[in-house]
Amino acid sequence: MNKYNVPALEKTITILELISDSKERFTVTELCTNLDMPKATVFTIMSTLEYYKMVVKDSAGKFNIGPKLFQLGMTYASDYNVVELAKPHMQKLMESTGLTVHLGVLHENQIMYVAKEEPNNFIKFSTYPGLKTQIHLSGLGKAIAAYLNEDEINQIVKDIGFPKATPNTITSMSKFKESLQEVRENGFSIEDEEGEIGVRCIAAPILNGRHETTTAISVASHISQLKPEQFKELGELVKTTAQDISKVI
């Protein structure tokens, strides 16, 4: 900790990180319990954040990320050059497949969605720019992890582990590394109901000239729309799109 730290600000950041990283919503009391903070402190912080629309409170008194914080996050995403350069390619991929397209980056040992193109149909995903997920639970994560070095992968697994989301979730290092080798051989990753039941994703890394990446693109679909026999053809299309993006960044 440096000598210029501001305790109240640090507590605020800790609270926002908990809310943004969790699928749950929290009351003031639940935040106190989870973070071992005094109730008066948490109440004051949350009241201030709510006033500035950084958080919103539902009818049960539970807090979630608010529109102002989302706006700030979108400003970051818009300033991230790859997003603007990738957008036309994402839209083209969405139109040619009829599937939802995501762009994700490695951020603090997790995958953060930074852009989304969604077709106008009845299947919708609750993903949004700023949403984060564990690296082993998504096609985006596996596509990026395949081009990290051994030490980076080991550190991520040490920090995050392999939380199980569905019966198909990868929960061992050996299986995870097998999946990464398949990405390197094929040029794309497949996520088959590993992060969420009923959802499949195919992703490809957006590589730089040194064959490195912290960015990937994916298509996501309900299993009724994406059958295993389509994996290779669609994977090649996603890989080609990733290669086209890599030429302009």
pLDDT tens, residue by residue, 98-153: 999 999 998 888 998 989 999 988 788 888 888 889 999 999 999 999 999 888 99
pLDDT at 166 over 60: yes
Q: How far apart are CA 56 and CA 63, in angstroms?
A: 6
Contacts of 92 (CB under 8 A, 6+ apart): 241
**What amino acid is encoded at 2 in this protein?**
N
pLDDT band at 81 (very low <50, low <70, confident <90, very high): confident
pLDDT at 221 over 90: yes
Average pLDDT of the chain, as a whole number: 90
Which tens digit of pLDDT belongs to each residue from 40-60? 999 999 999 999 888 888 888
Which tens digit of pLDDT belongs to each residue from 10-48? 999 999 989 887 778 899 999 999 999 999 999 999 999
Question: In Å, how far are 53, 116, 241, 249 from 198, measured between CA atoms?
Answer: 34, 19, 25, 33
Please report, for the chain, how many H helices and E strands are present, in that order.
9, 8
Supply the pLDDT for residue 115.
92
Give the H or E element holding residue 95: helix 81-97
> What is the number of residues in the chain?
249
pLDDT at 79 over 50: no
Q: What is the second-level CATH architecture of the domain 7-71? A: Orthogonal Bundle (1.10)
What CATH number is given for 80-246 in this structure? Answer: 3.30.450.40
Residue 189 CB neighbour total at 10 angstroms: 29
pLDDT at 77 over 60: no
**What amino acid is encoded at 183 in this protein?**
V
With CA atoms as reference, report the closest residue to 201 among 171, 230, 181.
230
User: Helix, strand or coil for residue 217?
Assistant: strand
Q: Are 166 and 197 a contacting pair, CB within 8 Å?
A: yes
pLDDT at 74 over 80: no
> Which residue in the block uniquely carries the two structure tokens 């912290």?
214
Supply the pLDDT for residue 175.
95
pLDDT band at 248 (very low <50, low <70, confident <90, very high): confident
> Which residue in the block uniquely carries the two structure tokens 């989870």?
34
Q: Which carries the bigger pLDDT value, residue 70 or residue 154?
A: 154
pLDDT at 78 over 90: no
Half-sphere exposure of 40 (CA within 13 A, CB side): 0
Supply the pLDDT for residue 211.
79
Supply the pLDDT for residue 2.
59
Domain boundaries, the chain: 7-71, 80-246
- Residue 149's Cβ-count burial label (10 Å; 0-12, 13-18, 19+) is exposed
pLDDT band at 165 (very low <50, low <70, confident <90, very high): very high
Q: Are 58 and 64 a contacting pair, CB within 8 Å?
A: yes
Average pLDDT over residues 199-210: 92
Tell me the sheet residues that pair with 190: 202
* Percent of the chain residues topping a pLDDT of 90: 64
Supply the pLDDT for residue 68.
75
